[in-house]
Amino acid sequence: MITFKQLRYFEALSRERHFGRAAESVHVSQPALSAQIMEMEASLGARLVERGRRKVILTREGKRVLAHARTVLTSMAELERAARPSSAPLVGPLAIGLIPTVAPISFPGWCRI
Amino acid sequence: MITFKQLRYFEALSRERHFGRAAESVHVSQPALSAQIMEMEASLGARLVERGRRKVILTREGKRVLAHARTVLTSMAELERAARPSSAPLVGPLAIGLIPTVAPISFPGWCRI
DNA sequence: TAAAAATACTCCATAGGTATTTTAT
DNA sequence: ATAAAATACCTATGGAGTATTTTTA
């Protein structure tokens, strides 16, 4: 099963193009990140990156997966924002009270006495 | 940290409106699902559902989170499809060959002899 | 008071760390 | 030859199950 963690690690890997630096950027050890990438490849049944001495390059599938991974990560961030009570849409009727002496001056033509 | 599992469990809960049935629908025990929902609420810092004797109803935040959860789950499904080598975009020129005797009949007005 | 969710507890799977080996240029 | 990724091995966290208690309409 794919996990968010794997998507984050994979995104870091595609950004850094280097297992060691990618691991560092997500604050885990290189073997930990490596294991998750391998696990992810196993889950998806596809090789995502080509490992080379001086190059870590995404495969065709890797590129496509990366695009979707970013979408998922973004959606996830939005989900977390949506959970904040402060982000409430505040949709509904709004009544504003005004004292009669001020209303005609503040909102001329709009106040109901 | 929010996980995919939690999103799946939460989606099931909003669908079933019942912890027991939701757990059954995702093939885990009721306490397991309950724990993940609580864990998710703790991670988000917001109550997602109101627990009642005959009713499990989503809170305002729960409804908003649900919408995003579905987006994430859908994106994730698309990611898995994208990993399949067969799902290559197949973009590029396509040439179709036809024998001269059939072409004018199959594609009248479109064939180049 | 009865159906439903939460808690207690135990177990096991797995993610992560350190040390080391293998690989590819 | 050397930088970099994979493997080995160990530990600990936490997710899941069963049994039970607490809650609420």
Instruction: Find residue A50's DSSP bridge partners.
Output: A57
Of B5, B69, B75, the CB nearest to A71: B75
- pLDDT score recorded for residue B88: 55
Instruction: Kindly report the average pLDDT of chain A as a whole number.
Output: 85
A12 pLDDT more than 90:
yes
Instruction: Kindly report the average pLDDT of chain B as a whole number.
Output: 85
- pLDDT score recorded for residue B98: 52
Taking each helix axis as running N to C, give the angle between helix A4-16 and helix A30-44, from 0 to 180 degrees, rounded to the nearest 10. 110
What kind of fold does domain B4-83 have according to CATH?
Arc Repressor Mutant, subunit A (1.10.10)
- pLDDT score recorded for residue A79: 95
* Cβ neighbours of B70 (radius 10 Å): 16
Mean pLDDT of A68-81: 96
> What is this structure's pTM?
0.80
Q: Is A84 on the interface with B (CB under 8 A)?
A: yes
For residue B31, give both structure tokens. Answer: 């306490």
Which of the given ranges, A20-24, A101-105, A107-111, B109-113, has the highest pLDDT on average?
A20-24
Q: Which nucleotides of C are covered by protein (CB under 7 A)?
A: 2-8, 15-19, 23-25
A90 pLDDT more than 80:
no
Every domain of chain A and the residues it spans: 4-87
Q: Is A83 on the interface with B (CB under 8 A)?
A: yes
Please give the residue that has the higher pLDDT: either B83 or A97.
Answer: B83
Of A60, A75, A88, the CB nearest to B75: A75
User: What stretch of H or E contains A51?
Assistant: strand A49-51
Please give the residue that has the higher pLDDT: either B56 or B100.
Answer: B56
For residue A73, give both structure tokens. Answer: 């990560």
A51: which residues sit within 8 A by CB, 6+ positions away? none
Q: What is the CATH number of domain A4-87?
A: 1.10.10.10
Min CA distance, B96 vs chain A (Å)? 26
pLDDT tens digit sequence for B21-52: 999 999 999 999 999 999 999 999 999 999 97
